Structure 1
Amino acid sequence: MDRLGLIAGNGRFPFLLLEAARARGLHVVVAAIKEETDPEMDTRAANDNGMEVHWMSLGELSKLIDTFQKAGVHNAVMAGQVRHKQIFSGIRPDWRLAKLLMSLSTRNTDMLLGAVAKVLSDEGIELISSTAYLEPMLAKQGVLTQRTPNETERNDIAYGLTVARGIAGFDLGQTVVIAAGACVAVEAMEGTDACIARAGALMGSLDDDASTLARSLTVVKVAKPKQDLRFDVPVVGVPTIRAMQAAGATCLAIEAGRTLLFDEENMLREANAAGIAVVGEQRPA
């Protein structure tokens, strides 16, 4: 049986990829990150003879390589978020990772993960796109909800796409929140949902009488210009809609074909119930 390595971060993404890989008859060897992976992974392994789980800390690059090599893994995927603040403050690197970190001139996420991918490749383990088994979950082009964006939201989407693609090019984040043509919040290390919450808190703090900004927020999330789909694929799901509802956001724009929709049916159901418009935008050529 062919073997696939799965480097599992947090959330449901690793479980969805696991199910898709098992449906193709693959034996999955999971490298579970102690600081991130849901303990449910052990429960799943106990009920599935076609997978095995090995727990390790975020900085144990040598253990990751040894685990995959001993299991006969030649192809691997990264699935699930590893929080940016964990990458830069939670790592206790082993000698191999410490050496890699010292060699980097720039220590942003893309640079670090790209270097890890190169080390794995040198050891005979190729990282492949995390969307390889999940293509049906990629967002489609067009309006995905019952409500279509209104004129103000359309204008905010257009502006937000320009801003989001600009910051994504610098690997700062992939999400911006817009209100009436003004950028209210830009994602950094905190993640999409926290960025949305920050925008909602900021808008809530404005003086109603003095504010010239509309109260509704439009959230725009994009892929990076040269997005490496082996890691850090844009993802939205039910938690995104709930974060938007709590913040008073009314519209979500994502890039069609480059954003994964988790639990799409329930996500769109909650969006419809909340009156939130969701639209898949085509990436320019």
Structure 2
Amino acid sequence: MTRTAIIAGAGALPAAVAAELDQPLVCALDGFQPAGLAVDQVFRVERLVPFLRGLADAGVERVIFAGAVQRPRLDPALFDPATAQMVPRLLAAMQAGDDATLREVLAIFAEAGFEIAGVADVAPGLVPGAGVLAGAPTEGDARDADRAAAIVAALGAVDVGQGAVVAQGLCLAVEALPGTDAMLDWVAQTARRPDPKGARGVFYKAPKPGQDRRIDLPTLGVETLRRAHAAGLAGIAFEAGGVILLDRAAMLAEAERLGLFLWARDAAGQA
């Protein structure tokens, strides 16, 4: 049996992934405790090389990254000599953006001899394929989803965000550093549609173009649906096979309760 380590961040995703595995080793970056999941080991970036050696000594062969993290503040006094040699490499990646940083992290783990699996590899039920999961998007909603998908692709190409809100063809908001919740809250408080009787709008979510899908897939949960409803939107569309639903059953029930559609949209814009 392949022993797997979950490199966990904050939120509910690490627990959802752990439920699909047989006794994984749960390792959390210091300061980013996963919700509802006991942690076996806490590590710091400044001691990355000893951490990797410890994983190998524990018989770990495969790692899965799950959960939200932000760039940690590094303490120069904590670096061991081997990890200190990686500092120029890590800093160069951080200066190039989030995607470059994630690619460098994956490269470091791969060079240490670990197989890197994605959430879709071990828990495919968390990453839905194409189809309308709840509700029924209209033709107007489909046009807004097309427009939002084009905007998200453009944003992702410059490593900005993974989401946008479009109503009646107009971009009401895009996701940036503050995140999805802040974007939807802003729409709820400020955005106005040209035609009050027209399409209410769509929130669209997708990975960045060229993103390594073994790490940092966008995630949707029940709270996202509630905020989309508060923003007056008709529903949520997302790229089929590219977005994690944290609790699919609960999300479908909540979408039906709120009268929102939930649409896993393929690359051609089809259900």
TM-score range for the pair, normalised by the shorter chain length: 0.7 to 0.9
- RMSD across aligned positions (CA): 2.3
Map Cα deviations across residues 143-175 of structure 1 (whole Å, 9 max, x no partner).
Answer: 211x31123322211111111111122221110
**Gap runs ≥5 in structure 2:** none
The answer to whether the 8 Å contact 1:253/1:280 transfers is yes
2:233 corresponds to 1:249: yes
Alignment counterpart, residue 75 of structure 1, candidates 57, 62, 72: 62
Aligned-partner residue type, residue 101 of structure 1: L
How far off its partner does 1:251 sit? Answer: 1.3
The answer to whether the 8 Å contact 2:10/2:35 transfers is no
Give the alignment's TM-score, normalised by structure 1: 0.83
Q: Give me the whole-angstrom Cα distance separating, in 2, the residues matched to 1:91 and 1:191.
A: 23
Instruction: Pick closer, same or farther for the CA change 1:40–1:277 going to 2, 3 Å.
Output: closer
Structure 1 residue ranges, 4+ long, deviating more than 3 angstroms after superposition: 57-60, 89-94, 102-106
Instruction: Pick closer, same or farther for the CA change 1:154–1:104 going to 2, 3 Å.
Output: closer
The answer to whether the 8 Å contact 1:179/1:213 transfers is no
Map Cα deviations across residues 226-250 of structure 1 (whole Å, 9 max, x no partner).
Answer: 2212101122121211121222222
| Equivalent in the alignment of 2:201 | 217
| Equivalent in the alignment of 1:112 | 101
Aligned-partner residue type, residue 201 of structure 2: L
Aligned-partner residue type, residue 190 of structure 1: P
The answer to whether the 8 Å contact 2:11/2:35 transfers is no
**Gap runs ≥5 in structure 1:** 46-52
| Length, aligned pairs only | 261
Q: Give me the whole-angstrom Cα distance separating, in 2, the residues matched to 1:56 and 1:3.
A: 19
Give the alignment's TM-score, normalised by structure 2: 0.87
Give matches, 1:1-285, under 5 Å: 1-22=1-22, 27-38=23-34, 40-42=36-38, 53-57=40-44, 59-82=46-69, 86-87=70-71, 90-92=73-75, 94=79, 95-96=84-85, 98-104=87-93, 106-145=95-134, 147-203=135-191, 212=194, 214=196, 216-284=200-268
Taking only the aligned residue pairs, the percentage that are identical comes to 27
Map Cα deviations across residues 29-58 of structure 1 (whole Å, 9 max, x no partner).
Answer: 21112322236433xx6xxxxxxx101235
How far off its partner does 1:97 sit? Answer: 5.1
3-state SS of the aligned residue for 2:237?
strand
